[in-house]
Amino acid sequence: MAGIVLDGKALSLSIEADLKQRVDALKIRNGNRTPILATILVGDDPASATYVKMKGNACRRTGMDSKSVFLPQETTTEQLLSEIEKLNANPDVHGILLQHPVPSQIDERLCFDAISIKKDVDGVTTNGFGLMSMGCAAYGSATPAGIMKILEHYEIPLQGKDAVVVGRSPILGKPMAMMLLNANTTVTICHSRTEDLAEKIKRADIVIGAVGKPEFIKGEWIKDEAVVVDAGYHPGGVGDIELSAVIERCSAYTPVPGGVGPMTISTLMSQTVEAAEKAAE
């Protein structure tokens, strides 16, 4: 029997409907000021441009405004930092998203960390990661935070369970592991160079694919009745996990597409609205 579909698309639509009501209420309290998410895109990468457009569409669906800052491919670190500081100082901007990756000549980490902690709605700053890891108030990285919302909504047991996170990126794998740990899950962090990876995955109750390689994690590595969360998306509509080989054996899984992706965007919207509500207070 196929596992339960952890439908991120349906959940994201429900979240967006609630956000629209919160935005409407906020505008009534706040002199009709609309929450604004500012997105910075450096260069002309087509995939990044598509993601920025999707986030702008999501803003409009929830009644928010979006502000787009487009910078040329040859932009320097100093020029990007200057744009970030302008947005930090703008009281009408409640969230800042720096679309990554940025061109190689830019110090990406320095620019991420220049974003005000109050406007770090994508959860990319070192400060935000540290606060989240310690269980303090912070906006979590959007994709892992979205995954946690999916698991919570579908009442997936976490406490005491063994989870394997395959991937160690600073905005996905590492924060994902910390969020699961804070939920009392026992976490093993693996990556593409982990020895005996298949054996480690076979012991997991929860498998998170966040390695960035198409179908890198084989279905046969995953034990029966495991919960399978695929955070990858690649050409051809496949993720990081060979889902076709595990759907009939797992207890629950996120589809690709329609699982984690929509929740990343809805989490970004949620955290922007929360930032606007805090600013209004």
Identify the structural domains of the chain with CATH numbers, from first to last. 32-117 (3.40.50.10860), 142-261 (3.40.50.720)
Which listed residue (7, 55, 120, 161) is catalytic? Answer: 55
pLDDT tier, 281 (very low <50, low <70, confident <90, very high otherwise): confident
Residue partners of 255: CB distance under 8 A and separation at least 6: 5, 6, 7, 8, 243
Q: Tokens 């787009």 correspond to what residue?
A: 68
Q: Which residues pair with 207 in a beta bridge?
A: 164, 228
pLDDT tier, 30 (very low <50, low <70, confident <90, very high otherwise): confident
Task: Answer yes or no: 99 catalytic.
Answer: yes
| Burial of residue 68, with CB atoms counted within 10 A of its CB: 0-12 exposed, 13-18 middle, 19 or more buried | middle
**Alpha carbons 271 and 37: distance in angstroms, whole number:** 10
**Alpha carbons 209 and 52: distance in angstroms, whole number:** 24
Token representation of residue 65: 């405004």
Identify the CA nearest to 172 among candidates 195, 140, 197: 140
The model's pLDDT over 234-264, given as tens digits with 9 standing for 90+, comes to: 988 999 999 999 999 999 999 999 999 999 9
Which listed residue (7, 120, 122, 240) is catalytic? Answer: 122
Diameter over CA atoms, the chain: 59
The model's pLDDT over 95-141, given as tens digits with 9 standing for 90+, comes to: 999 999 999 999 999 999 999 999 999 999 999 999 999 999 999 99
pLDDT over 80 (residue 1): no
Token representation of residue 275: 């930032």
pLDDT tier, 48 (very low <50, low <70, confident <90, very high otherwise): confident
pLDDT tier, 49 (very low <50, low <70, confident <90, very high otherwise): confident
pLDDT over 70 (residue 14): yes
Token representation of residue 46: 């087509």
Which listed residue (99, 120, 149, 205) is catalytic? Answer: 99
Query: Can you tell me the mean pLDDT for 218-226?
Result: 97
